[in-house]
Amino acid sequence: MAKFPLTSFSSSSLASVVLSVPCCSALFLPLPTLSSPSTSSRGRLLLDTPRQFRHLKVFSGYDVVPPNVLEFSKGWKEIYERCTLWRWNGYSVNFFCKGSGPPLLLVHGFGASIAHWRRNIGVLSESYTVYAIDLLGFGSSDKPLEFSYSIELWSQLILDFLKEVVKKPTVLIGNSVGSLVCVMATTEASEGLVRGLVLLNCAGGMNNKAIVDDWRIRLIMPFLWILDFLLKKRSIALAIFEYVKKRENLKNILLSVYGNKEFVDDDLIEIIKKPAEDPGALDAFISIVTGPPGPSPVSLMPKLTVPVLILWGDQDPFTPIDGPVENIFLSPFSVL
């Protein structure tokens, strides 16, 4: 079993901020929190309980929207108005920066962008310098035509961003595929570049081909093979992509994956739909879905030497808490 240093941070640390603010449950998939919304120390039990390390506790999610969470959803357009372009290997990469203090870097998941962190940026920036980045192929970053995307590519992008833009030891916070990118970047980082990791529903790979050990994936594997074949026919891929990104269809897809349906609002739909209209968005979609899955957390996690905080939404349909990827993290730890 991997011996990575899963750490219980103190209540004054980054983990306290990430776990205790209600807006965290508003990420792409609901984040873990205490089972009772009325508990005043929301999320603090994990942080304040005395122990050394290697102890993960999983909390069930809210059944209702926590008070004032929706207030944080406003202003996503203003976030993009404050963004800056950074040139990387001849491409433009969009990033955001706000606040002062120790740096954090937020890395989104598949189909997402900087604006997916809109409910987290405000509160985190009160104590930290918050950076958020649109990975190449997403958001307002370049989407080169006929380009091959990979976890390795995005990992190098993150490392170069830390060296050239942040220039300080940084805590990486990733969601889904973004978590896996952060894990790989950390394993490749020079000493002192990454201070720690926060992983939110870490993906098993760039696409579902990475988790063939799951009986649910084996069940639909013939469909995935057919989908791969069809997506490599550009005319068919275009028809599928155009269908998926229609507003009503996109809304129905989001409603099927969001634990809390109230977060599927017009802003969220627009945040996902707008970048999908860019030239190159189809190429990114095809490359990511049909390409190699890339490295697995099974091979990467044992290489970590920095503190790791793992959060998991128990209503995640894509990387469920009882799936093979999650068992990598849960096996040695306790579950509430």
Question: How far is residue 66 from each of residues 13, 29, 34, 110, 260, measured CA to CA in Å?
Answer: 22, 15, 12, 25, 11
CATH architecture of 67-330: 3-Layer(aba) Sandwich (3.40)
DSSP 231-281: HTSHHHHHHHHHHHTSHHHHHHHHHHH-SSGGG--HHHHHHHHHHHTSTTH
pLDDT at res. 329:
63
pLDDT at 87: 97
Q: What is the Cα–Cα distance from 274 to 284, expressed in whole angstroms?
A: 14
Q: Report how far residue 210's alpha carbon sits from residue 293's, in angstroms, rounded to the nearest whole number.
A: 5
Question: What is the mean pLDDT of the segment spanning 101-124?
Answer: 94
Token pair, residue 320, equals 């469920």
Is residue 325 over pLDDT 80?
no
Average pLDDT, the chain: 75
* Chain segment 55-69, per-residue pLDDT in tens: 444 444 444 444 444
pLDDT of residue 219 exceeding 90:
no
Select the more confidently predicted residue: 108 or 28. 108
Whole-number percent of the chain with pLDDT over 90: 45
Element of type H or E holding 215: helix 215-231
pTM of the entire predicted model: 0.77
Q: What sign for the dihedral angle of Cα 130, 73, 259, 176?
A: negative
Cα separation, 220 vs 47, whole angstroms: 39
Residue 333 has pLDDT above 80, yes or no: no
Rounded Cα distance between 45 and 274, Å, is 39
Orientation angle between helical segments 234-244 and 281-290, nearest 10 degrees: 100
